[in-house]
Amino acid sequence: MDEQLIRWDDLQIVHAIARNGSLSGAGRQLGLSHATVFRRLGEMERRLGVTLFERGHGGYSQTPAGEDLAAVAARVETDILGAERRIAGRDIKLSGTIRLTTTDTLYSGLLAPILAGFRRQYPQIELELVISNQLHSLSKREADIAIRPTHKPPETLVGRRVGEIQMAVYGARAGWRDQSLPLSPESLAACNWVGPDVHMGDAALEAWMNARGHRERCRYRIDSLLGVQVAIRQGAEVAVLPRYLGDADEQLLRLAPPVAELATPLWLLIHPDLRRVSRMRIFLEEVGGQIREALQGG
């Protein structure tokens, strides 16, 4: 018997008939019609030049050649299933790489301890972090997952909203701890401000400051929120910062309630093709949950 004449499709037919004892049962198992199983069995027997099954009152019984081929089919099926499990197991073990992009502020003020915990729990996963205020393309695989504040996530991506970034006005604790808080809008209007440089691109914050007259008292502009945070530690100026950054800074004091119109949803975004990959799914679930808890506790 020429081994090359036997295909996996042939072995599936033999295995199914041997297991079910009938063509109809084999067809149901394989999702084929009775006629298709009959035709393919006949073609196989003609090609191999042997009879594989004999039909009797009790159904189809194997000939010695059929028993041999059915045993081979069972071994091949076992090997294939084992290979599938091993391949899937590589993902089940949660190895591989996750390339993550986020902003410098989010990493410094919120994500660094969360990602450190994820690394301790899943040491076989390689985490690559792209810190940038520019949204890298997930479609071009510049990154696998993005953690970004946005009111309108790209339609080409999927993900989950993990919370809301609240913004508030802060000043140096040493200069404001003896003041009556929260400050009134009139008191805030009399403060000197540190504001966003035009290159930061925070149009909402710029509009809010303009509408309340704070821009006229803003003579110090920085293109980084981390820079703004450091700047207001040094003197009497005040500035708007995310609560996850300002509340955690022992040198700063929140001077007024959060600014409702500056709140922004925080999203974990991923390309649709990657959302079922085990390591990506686990990252979204666990890191997303911890971010939600951190923001709610802030």
- Amino acid sitting at position 37: V
Instruction: Specify the higher pLDDT residue, 83 or 14.
Output: 14
Q: How confident is residue 238, by pLDDT bands cut at 50, 70 and 90?
A: very high
Domain ranges of the chain: 3-92, 96-165+264-297, 167-262
Nearest partner of 243 among 151, 139, 170, 163, judged by Cα: 170
Q: What does residue 139 show for φ and ψ, rounded to 5 degrees? A: -70, -35
- At 239-295, the pLDDT tens digits run 999 999 999 999 999 999 999 999 999 999 988 888 888 888 899 999 999 999 998
Single pTM value for the model: 0.65
Task: Tally Cβ neighbours within 10 Å of residue 150.
Answer: 14
Over residues 111-120, mean pLDDT: 94
Which residues are within 8 A (CB) of 176 and not within 5 positions of it... i.e. 6 or more apart?
Answer: 253, 255
- Our CA angle for 197, 202, 205, nearest 5°, is 95
Q: Tell me whether the CATH fold assigned to 3-92 matches the one assigned to 167-262.
A: no
Element at 245 (helix H, strand E): helix 243-246
CATH architecture designation of domain 167-262: 3-Layer(aba) Sandwich (3.40)
CA distance linking residue 183 with residue 257, whole number of Å: 9
CATH 3.40.190.10 fits 96-165+264-297, yes or no: yes
- At 172-205, the pLDDT tens digits run 999 998 889 999 999 999 999 999 988 787 889 9
Establish how many alpha carbons lie within 13 A of residue 271's alpha carbon, considering only the half-sphere containing its beta carbon.
16
CA distance linking residue 69 with residue 72, whole number of Å: 5
Alpha helices of 58-167 — where are they, by DSSP H? 64-92, 104-106, 112-121
125-131 and 96-102 strand pairing: parallel
Q: How confident is residue 83, by pLDDT bands cut at 50, 70 and 90?
A: low
CA distance linking residue 195 with residue 297, whole number of Å: 27
- What is the predicted pLDDT for the residue at 76? 84
- What is the predicted pLDDT for the residue at 140? 55
Contact, 130 vs 136, CB < 8 A?
yes
- At 23-81, the pLDDT tens digits run 888 888 888 888 888 998 888 888 888 998 988 877 888 899 889 888 888 888 777 76
CATH class of 3-92: mainly alpha
- Token pair for residue 250? 């022992």
User: Quick check: helix, strand or coil at residue 233?
Assistant: helix
